[in-house]
Structure 1
Amino acid sequence: MAHCLQVPGRRICSRVWRGWRGAPCASRYRYSTRAPDGTRGEIDISTYPPERIRNFSIIAHIDHGKSTLADRLLELTGVISKTGKNKQVLDKLKVERERGITVKAQSASMFYEHMGQKYLMNLIDTPGHVDFSYEVSRSLAACQGTILLVDAAQGIQAQTVANFYLAFGEGLEVIPMLNKVDLQTAEPARAAKQIESAFEIDAGGLLHMSAKTGLGVDQVLPAVIEKIPPPGGSSGRPFKALLFDTWYDRYQGVVCLMAVKDGAIRKGTRIVSNHSKTKYEVAEVGIMYPEPTPTTSLQAGQVGYIVCNMKSIAEAHVGDTFYRDKEPVEALPGFVPAKSMVFAGVFPIDADEFDRLDESIQKLTLNDSSVSVHKETSAALGQGWRLGFLGTLHMDVFRQRLEEEYDANVLITAPTVPYQIKYRDGSTHFIRTPADFPSAISMQDAVVATMEPFVSATVIFPEQYMGQMFELCTTHRGEIQNHTFIDESRVMLKCRLPTAEVVTDFFDKLKSKSQGFASFDYEEAGYGESDLVKMEVLLNGESVDALAAVMHRSSVVTTGRDMARRLKEVIRRQLFDIIIQTAANGKIVARETVKQLRKNVTAKCYGGDISRKMKLLNKQKEGKKRMKKFGKVELPQEAFLSVMTSKSE
């Protein structure tokens, strides 16, 4: 009968392990080990050859129980104690615990004994939301198989389908399992039929479990050992490792999480980065247990962290291959760079905080390599950055991490998508900010076509909401491609949508119209021609670049009127009229006026000739004209923040 292998006991080191992965984690202390004789030592994992190692991940739709299953597996193998209070142990970021979702893939090593053999199990818990699919793809590169978890009550969801094909495309062994079978609303037989229909997998021997109660969890690791192949490679070959994750520690600098493909590495080994050819001396190697725990070495097939005195953040490149000094090897394929779907400007509220915020963004992007960073300057907001994200949730989580982990106070502009402009000379330019969009004259003389990005969307919902879902897609300029029934009551809809429509309020409307039962996933689908215009906001005739936006012509009137109305509410009254206008292609779309503050100059006139009052009023009128001519309207940061928040909502 399978049981757990007990590892030498650990004790808490006196040094506080702050800043792990850039943020204080749930357990703020670093673990060290004690050898059997009671002295402090390191875990020896050199006795685990590749055939007794299993590297696997857990993938699923959001809220299907990935993190809960990881908790039970860590308890089962003795990595953490069974206190009954373990919840999301691998969700170490504060934002993850507050939102109840996984945004960062986390790994943990476990020791397990099965059929008389001792195994080293390396688990990676992955996010479930579509905005963090790049985390999933990088995690799968360090695995040979994965557990596809399906909620027995909800059945297959959109991200379930996306994650399956992501793992299938990587050539990994996929083990489907049903979770939450203890719920009264669970329908395991129906969920099993959906798996067979959608993935053409025999669901006859499907494992039924409840990660919350522990029902059936003891059968998970034996299934992983039997069905997932061991990693390839040999300890006798030259050292070769893939860097698939990094984070910054204030004491040790850059920490690299690597999957060792061949050879072995230990403290004191000199390694070389294939990307930069920089040489490093290894200061520490270890595994995540679940906190960073030193080991004597890392060998072929194992996954662990390496500290090599990499002090500069720019030196770490996810997907890089490392090898032993003077023993070069062929580079591993690495990863396809993440393509940003949404761009937003990030500016410090206080200009004096620019340098500190710059350092904070560098450290945070080290831990989230899917974010692209470009510096930009706004006439209204000063120096800042144009950051690229995989989605609006990704953008919001990044902002929250900046504020919570680095005490940053930032202003984020409304999200935009990258557009393409085709010119008559055959050139094509990418437009990431509204300021780069061609003028109205250039649009007439030099531009052939304007292009916007599209996505292929998958929507899964109950049959009774089919009419609402079709209407939602068409009103957001979507093109319905096909729809199929995955069982007798659930529909899978495929449609092509403009990315700009997806990053606004599409998801909120989807949940509202389906009463929360619909799920949504999308992937990039290239560019297509579209009638795009640039909408500008003018204050007394002067353009405010931070509020400009590129959009489809059909949205200009509605958006322009809404923007003018909201600005009127937040702009303070001045001693002269403030005219708010929104314009597109040189034509005014909407106008609002913030009326001036006026002094009652005729208050001292008690009767008398009317000409005296008119003289005072005319004098005041002339003064107002001069004031309007030379006065400038300055939008306070609070006004920008109010407008941007309303736009994002």
Structure 2
Amino acid sequence: MENIRNFCIIAHIDHGKSTLADRLLQATGTVTDREMQEQLLDDMDLERERGITIKSHAIQMDYKYEGKDYILNLIDTPGHVDFSYEVSRSIAACEGALLIVDAAQGIEAQTISNLYLALEHDLEIIPVLNKIDLPSAMPEEVTDEIVNLIGCDPADVIRASAKEGIGIDDILEAVIKRIPAPEGDVNKPLKAMIFDSVFNPFRGIEVYFRVFDGTIKKGDKVKFVHTGKTYEADEIGVLKLKQQPKETISAGNVGYIISGIKVAKEVKVGDTITHLNRPCEAVKGFENVKPMVFAGIYPVDTTEFEELRASMEKLQLNDASLVWEPETSAALGFGFRCGFLGMLHMEIVQERLEREFDMTVITTVPSVQFHAIGTDGSVRKINAPSEMPEPNTISHIEEPYIRAQIITKSEFIGNVIGLCMEKRGVIKNQVYLTADRVELSFELPLAEIVFDFFDKLKTLSRGYASLDYELIGFRQSNMVKLDIMLNGDRVDALSAIVHRDKAYEWGKRLCEKLRELIPRQMFEIAIQASIGTKIIARETVKAMRKNVLAKCYGGDITRKRKLLEKQKKGKKRMRQVGNVEIPQEAFMAVLKLD
């Protein structure tokens, strides 16, 4: 066991994590030049296009150092804030972490939040200054930032360039010398933690785990503690570039198990694997992944509902954190209410549905989960505006709040604080990391940052600000349900739950936007925004008129009036039977109100 090292890489998006992983794989001879490609561990098309890691990966490398053979397990982590629970489980499976900081950009918000996660688990941190070959690199200044942040010696910071292959041997040496070997007892009952799972269409779900105590053998009967399910280990092995089956995997090592699991819900990241006849205590820190953002997904063509259901089921096998249930909408027909970890997760799910399954879908306005506290003290969870109970049955509504950390250049402080105040935020703290970089802490309602907060933040700070957030609980708020009505009929797909102070402006802007988007009919269309029975805004789409007076020349005015009265009656009748078609763009309008 003293020759095993388990480590992960933590960094902000685009600081060179995947490229460094490539170099480590090459330096240890894990991949041949023929198998090598850029960002080897990011195997999804979407990951390659966007340059982000969505799914974390694990790979084992063999390395010879000073005549000894070492096994290095690299457990890669996604960098985005939406996937922070998965990151925390990957970190729990390691003893050390490489903290990568871009020499040109310095420390950013997700670097800090992932670093705190690693420190909570007592990991040995190895700071690496990446991209020192760039002309805009500022190695001295950024080294000072790192020293201030983790209190290490400036000599401990390894200078590297993953692209040019500089400093890779120093990193491998540091991993072996500085990161402690895993501790564990081979003779204790089996205790292993799941940190990831991958769906294989031929063999069911492959579960990746890290063994803390005991040994697992091929053919053992194992139990997943939190789900209570039992399986037989058909195949176990280690994760090289391709899987390598083994007979046993003992304490300290990382491996995979295949036992023909068909249902994604049965495998939960953070769960504990143990023997059926010799159980152990569960690994601490397990929680069910909680969705933060909810939206409706509907097929554009209503006949494709069953196909969409099949696609969602297949997608869920690959992505267990996606939660969905069927729902109906008067405007859009049958569809699904889905829960996502965040806005990036929602975008990726939508894009994967369109790409991998060829589905064209409409996504409704994203909302967060509110708690409606009834007059009798009962709590109802509300994931969609349509679930909101009548106002006379509830005493108040609570909404989720987050703590946001924003790191930006000092010249943009005013803009950032202004934006957060506008979003009902409260500033809690302000720390200068260096002379011109500031870390701001805010408490904000989650509902306010679901729409376009991140885009605005990037715009106001010219791309320099970085954001990280965590949920801190529910608080009482003055929220109301805003309905949109067309000719007196409610369009449930356009309703939203908003703060009372913002409802009027929101309703007015939405009505104006819809007036531009809804095509004119032969009759007049009234677009109204209402809270309960009170109308707060109205716009009118004027009717198209046929000139009925064209054939009426000369003669008495009463002849003209008779024709106009006749037309008026026709319009009235038409309005009663005519229905308004809402174009697809109108549903997206809500997302792009500004």
TM-score normalised by the shorter chain: which range applies? over 0.9
Corresponding position of 2:410: 463
AA matched with 2:47 = E
Cα RMSD between the aligned structures?
A: 2.4
Q: Please identify, of 220-229 and 284-293, the stretch whose mean Cα deviation from structure 2 is larger.
A: 284-293
Distance of 2:165 and 2:499 partners within structure 1: 52
Report SS of the residue matched to 1:309: coil
Alpha-carbon distance change, 171 to 385 in structure 1, aligned in 2, over 3 angstroms: farther
Cα distance in 1 for partners of 2:418, 2:592 equals: 25
After superposition, give the CA deviation of every residue in 1:25-50 in whole Å (9 maximum; x if it has no partner): xxxxxxxxxxxxxxxxxxxxxxxxx2
- Equivalent in the alignment of 1:151: 102
Partner-residue secondary structure (3-state), 2:561: helix
Q: Equivalent of 1:574, from 515, 518, 521?
A: 521
Aligned: 1:620 with 2:571: no
**Contact 2:215–2:249 (8 Å) recurs in 1:** yes
Q: Which amino acid aligns with 2:300?
A: I
Which amino acid counterpart does residue 288 of structure 1 have in structure 2? Answer: L
Q: Secondary structure at the match of 1:404?
A: helix
2:490: which partner in 1? 543
1:115 corresponds to which of 54, 66, 78? 66
Pick from 68, 75, 89: which aligns with 2:40? 89
Question: Aligned-pair distance for 1:489?
Answer: 2.2
Please, which of 396, 399, 406 is the counterpart of residue 347 of structure 2? 396
Q: Secondary structure at the match of 2:155?
A: coil
How far apart are the structure 2 equivalents of 1:419 and 1:278? 32
Displacement of 1:83 in angstroms is 6.8
SS at match of 1:504: coil
Counterpart in the other structure of 2:19: 68
Partner Cα distance (1:264, 1:353) in 2? 48
- Give the whole-Å Cα distance in 1 for the aligned partners of 2:311 and 2:252: 34
Hey, what does 1:43 align to over in structure 2? Answer: none
Is 2:98–2:125's contact at 8 Å kept on the other side of the alignment?
A: yes
Paired amino acid for 2:509: D
Partners of 1:614 and 1:382 in 2: how far apart? 43
Residue 485 of structure 1 aligns to a residue whose secondary structure is strand
Structure 1 residues 364, 626: closer, same or farther in 2, change over 3 A?
Answer: same
Equivalents in 1 of 2:305, 2:220: separation in Å? Answer: 39
1:319 counterpart SS class: coil
The offset of 1:608, in angstroms, is 4.3
1:265 aligns with 2:212: no
Contact 1:246/1:366 (8 A) holds in 2: no
Segment drifting more, 282-291 vs 478-487: 282-291
Residues 187-196 or 599-608, more deviating: 599-608
Which residue of the partner structure matches residue 162 of structure 1?
A: 113
In structure 2, the partner of 1:498 is 445
Structure 1: gaps of 5 or more residues: 1-49
Whole-angstrom CA distance in 1 between matches of 2:521 and 2:532: 29
Give the direction of change, closer, same or farther, for the CA distance of 1:156–1:261 in structure 2 (3 Å limit). Answer: same
1-structure distance, mates of 2:237, 2:283: 22
Rate the CA distance shift 1:246–1:357 in 2: closer, same or farther, 3 A. farther
AA aligned to 1:126 is T
What do residues 181-205 of structure 1 show as CA deviations (whole Å, max 9, x unaligned)? 2222222222222223233333332
* Segment drifting more, 303-312 vs 353-362: 353-362
Give the corresponding residue for 1:643: 589
Deviations 1:33-82 (A, max 9, x none): xxxxxxxxxxxxxxxxx222111110111111111110100111112234
Say whether the 8 Å CA contact 2:249–2:255 is kept in structure 1.
yes
Aligned partner of residue 279 in structure 2, secondary structure: coil
For the pair 1:102 / 2:48, whether they are aligned, the reply is no
Deviation (angstroms), 1:541: 0.6
- Corresponding residue for residue 86 of structure 2: 135
Partner Cα distance (1:639, 1:469) in 2: 31
Q: Secondary structure at the match of 1:422?
A: strand
- Tell me the residue number matched to 1:370: 321
> 2:197 maps to what in 1?
246
Percent of paired sites with the same residue: 47
Counting only pairs closer than 5 Å after superposition, residues 404-415 of structure 1 correspond to structure 2 as 404-415=355-366
Deviation at residue 84 of structure 1 after TM alignment: 11
Matches of 1:400 and 1:505 in 2, distance apart? 18
Residue from 477, 481, 492 that aligns with 2:424: 477
Preserved CA contact (<8 Å) 2:127 2:156: no
**1:193 aligns with one of 123, 127, 144:** 144
Tell me, in whole angstroms, the C-alpha distance in 2 between the residues paired with 1:425 and 1:201. 56
Select between 469-478 and 58-67 the one with higher mean Cα deviation.
469-478
Q: What's 1:454 paired with? A: 401
Partner SS state of residue 186, structure 1: coil
Q: Distance in 2 between matches of 1:353 and 1:586?
A: 36
Tell me the secondary structure at the aligned position of residue 632 of structure 1.
Answer: coil
Within-5 A mapping of 1:575-614: 575-614=522-561
TM-score normalised by L of structure 2: 0.93
Correspondences of 1:275-294 after superposition (within 5 Å): 275-294=226-245
Say whether the 8 Å CA contact 2:265–2:320 is kept in structure 1.
Answer: no
Instruction: Find the residue that maps to 1:460 and give its secondary structure.
Output: strand
Q: CA deviation at 1:562?
A: 2.2
Indicate the SS of the match to 2:474: strand
SS at match of 1:51: coil
TM-score (norm 1): 0.86
Deviation at 1:602, TM superposition (A): 4.2
Q: Is the 8 A contact 2:205 2:260 kept in 1?
A: yes
**Deviation per CA, 1:593-614, whole angstroms, max 9, x where unpaired?**
2222344444444544444443
The whole-number CA distance in structure 2 between the counterparts of 1:329 and 1:85 is: 41
Distance 1:468 1:319 in 2: 39
CA distance in 1, matches of 2:529, 2:131: 52
Residue number among 168, 171, 179 corresponding to 1:220 in the alignment: 171
Q: How far apart, in 2, do the equivalents of 1:494 and 1:641 lie?
A: 34
| The one of 493, 512, 522 aligned to 1:565 | 512
CA contact (8 A) 1:134 1:370 kept: no
1:434 corresponds to: 385
Question: In structure 1, what residue type is equivalent to 2:469?
Answer: Y
Q: Residue by residue, what CA displacement relative to the aligned partner does 1:442-466 show, whole Å, maximum 9, x if unpaired?
A: 2xxx543332222111121222222
Instruction: Flag the 1:314–1:465 CA change in 2: closer, same or farther, 3 A.
Output: closer
- Deviation track 1:114-168 (CA, whole Å, cap 9, x = no partner) reads 1211111111221222122122112112212211111122211111110111111
Residue 373 of structure 1 contacts residue 386 of structure 1 at CA under 8 Å; is this kept in 2?
Answer: yes
Structure 2: state its 5+ residue gaps.
none
**Change in CA separation of 1:259 and 1:352 when aligned onto 2, cut-off 3 Å:** farther
Once residues 233 and 633 of structure 1 are traced to their aligned partners in structure 2, the CA distance between those partners, rounded to angstroms, is 68
**8 A contact 1:454–1:499 mirrored in 2:** yes
SS of residue matched to 1:450:
strand
Higher mean displacement: 446-455 or 164-173: 446-455
Deviations 1:70-101 (A, max 9, x none): 01001111122347973211111111111111
> Quick one: which amino acid aligns to residue 154 of structure 1?
Q
1:205 aligns with one of 152, 156, 160: 156
What per-residue deviation string (whole Å, max 9, x for no partner) do you get for residues 509-547 of structure 1?
222222222222111122333322221100001111110
What SS class does the counterpart of residue 368 from structure 2 fall into?
coil
User: 2:485 is aligned with what amino acid?
Assistant: L
Q: Aligned equivalents of 2:260 and 2:543: distance in 1?
A: 62
The change in CA–CA distance for 1:206 and 1:494 in structure 2 (over 3 A counts) is same
* CA 1:312–1:430: 2 relative to 1, 3 Å: closer
Q: What residue in structure 2 maps to residue 180 of structure 1? A: 131
User: How far apart, CA to CA, are the structure 2 residues paired with 1:461 and 1:642?
Assistant: 31
Q: Distance in 2 between matches of 1:249 and 1:427?
A: 43
| 8 Å contact from structure 1 (residues 571, 639) kept in 2 | no
Q: CA deviation at 1:324?
A: 3.4
Aligned 8 A contact 2:364 2:588 in 1: no
